[in-house]
Amino acid sequence: MTSIEDVAKTWLTDPPWQKVFKHTFDVLEDYISYVLITVGTIFLSVRLLSTLGTGELNCVILGVENGTLGGIDPYPSGGTLGLLSYASNDEECIRTVYSKFMEYMPYILLIQTLILVIVEKFSFKIPRIAQKVERFYKNIVEESLFGKDPDVSEDLTDPKTSTEVISRRRQRNEICVSLKRSKIIGRVYVAKNLCEILLDIAFLSINIVYLLSTNDDLPRTCSVLIQGVDGINGPVETDHNIFFQCRGKKMKFFVIGMYVQIVLLALHGICSLGAIIWSLGFRSVSNLLRKISEDDLKIQKKKRYRGGSNEFYAYRNGNDFLFLFDLLAHTCGIESTLRVLTHSDDNFYETCRPKIDTLTDLTLEEDKLKIVWRPA
């Protein structure tokens, strides 16, 4: 039991490095998944507890084939409870009352939810993606945002005199270059949300079609063939059909549960759609760099001049480096993200650094230093 709980926690609980890169829509999807799991578990528990020892159906005896009116001859009246119990567990009666979907409905709802959870958690569980994101978080994001900031000490000292700084910069450069050349994280993110939307549509179609066509909450008539006993003289030696009227247990509860499942699946699909829309057009850092790149091109066309070493053209097609910073900006804010980006990417640092002429732009006064700078 403990191992099952550990596996469940491993899949449902995100590590710290993954929480930083979760969009609001992804967090909402997680909460919806938890509610779906709870709903499916409740339905399964109610089904098992309501049928434990008493059968799947509630039945009443209508009569016996060729029997007398008002009696169940040739069977003794004291055997009524036994006959009802037999009918409530009889496969033919269960199939008559329940459709296949309703018979296994709690299991189907849980399977639908588990499929969505597996797809949602799958993207960051891919070793290639998990390793890249974890290294990026631990070497670049964690210390800068949530602990001591080594970048401040690097700004005040000569990095060439410290082996620790040199090692850290090499690691950071290796991670950043690897992410700039990769697009797998962004593509898997979009593919994951597209897959979830398709699954939501498929599950919604199945559930809605069932609700529109179901009559499972109505009572049905079924018959059970009671075979005669050989070697006994009398009417019990022959076979008889006993007729029952049966109805499923807690049917209204399960029908309401189907409506709840449909609403939650629709919300889940909306969140996945919102995540795709965000990734295609509302990424703050990517939009900022794209705007800088476009403005720089306009300046070059007008003045035929280029200052600094602006190399943002490589960003125009997008990459995992920008995608992770977009997620980080959504989670932690654009200001903190730009500070981390300045220390992580030399191109961004050189281009956004204000142009200052130490001879003309610095004015030293008695109690202050006046600095005048031009836009990057």
Would you say residue 239 lies in a domain? yes
Would you say residue 5 lies in a domain? no
349 and 260 in a common domain: no
Instruction: For residues 24-50, give the mean pLDDT.
Output: 89
93 and 124 in a common domain: yes
292 and 210 in a common domain: no
Would you say residue 7 lies in a domain? no
Would you say residue 36 lies in a domain? yes
pLDDT of residue 159: 56
Measured torsion, CA atoms of residues 310, 316, 318, 321, in degrees rounded to the nearest 10: 10
pLDDT digits (tens, 9 = 90+) for 61-71: 777 766 554 55
131 and 260 in a common domain: yes
Would you say residue 162 lies in a domain? yes
257 and 123 in a common domain: yes
What pLDDT band is residue 234 in, cutting at 50, 70 and 90? low
CB 327 within 8 A of CB 21: yes
Q: Say yes or no to pLDDT of 35 above 80.
A: yes
Asked which of 256, 282, 308 is the last residue of a domain, the reply is 282
Q: Say yes or no to pLDDT of 196 above 90.
A: yes
- Phi (first) and psi of residue 132, to 5 degrees: -65, -45
pLDDT digits (tens, 9 = 90+) for 86-97: 787 778 888 888
Packed helices 251-281 and 184-213: angle between N→C axes, nearest 10 degrees: 150
Most confident stretch, 60-74, 264-278, 282-296, 361-375: 264-278
Total structural domains in the chain?
2
150 and 237 in a common domain: yes
Would you say residue 192 lies in a domain? yes
Would you say residue 43 lies in a domain? yes
238 and 160 in a common domain: yes
CB 311 within 8 A of CB 347: yes
**Taking the CB of residue 116, how many other CB atoms lie within 10 A of it?**
25
Most confident stretch, 95-109, 217-231, 304-318: 95-109
111 and 59 in a common domain: yes
Q: Which domain holds residue 360?
A: 283-375
304 and 249 in a common domain: no
DSSP string, 147-191: S--HHHHHHHS-GGG-HHHHHHHHHHHHHHHHHHT--HHHHHHHH
Query: 353 is written with which tokens?
Result: 């650094």
Q: Say yes or no to pLDDT of 308 above 50.
A: no
**Taking the CB of residue 247, how many other CB atoms lie within 10 A of it?**
15
Would you say residue 11 lies in a domain? no
Q: Say yes or no to pLDDT of 336 above 70.
A: yes
Percentage, residues of the chain above pLDDT 90:
14
Asked which of 241, 267, 282 is the last residue of a domain, the reply is 282
Asked which of 282, 297, 321 is the last residue of a domain, the reply is 282
114 and 172 in a common domain: yes
241 and 198 in a common domain: yes
Most confident stretch, 32-36, 81-85, 234-238, 353-357: 32-36
pLDDT digits (tens, 9 = 90+) for 126-171: 888 888 888 888 888 877 776 555 555 555 555 555 666 677 777 7
Contacts made by residues 291-299, CB under 8 angstroms, sequence distance 24+: 292/351, 292/352, 296/351
332 and 203 in a common domain: no
Mean pLDDT of the chain: 77
Q: What is the pTM of this model?
A: 0.77
Q: Say yes or no to pLDDT of 306 above 90.
A: no
Mean pLDDT check: name the lowest of 7-16, 119-128, 152-161, 188-197: 152-161
pLDDT of residue 160: 59
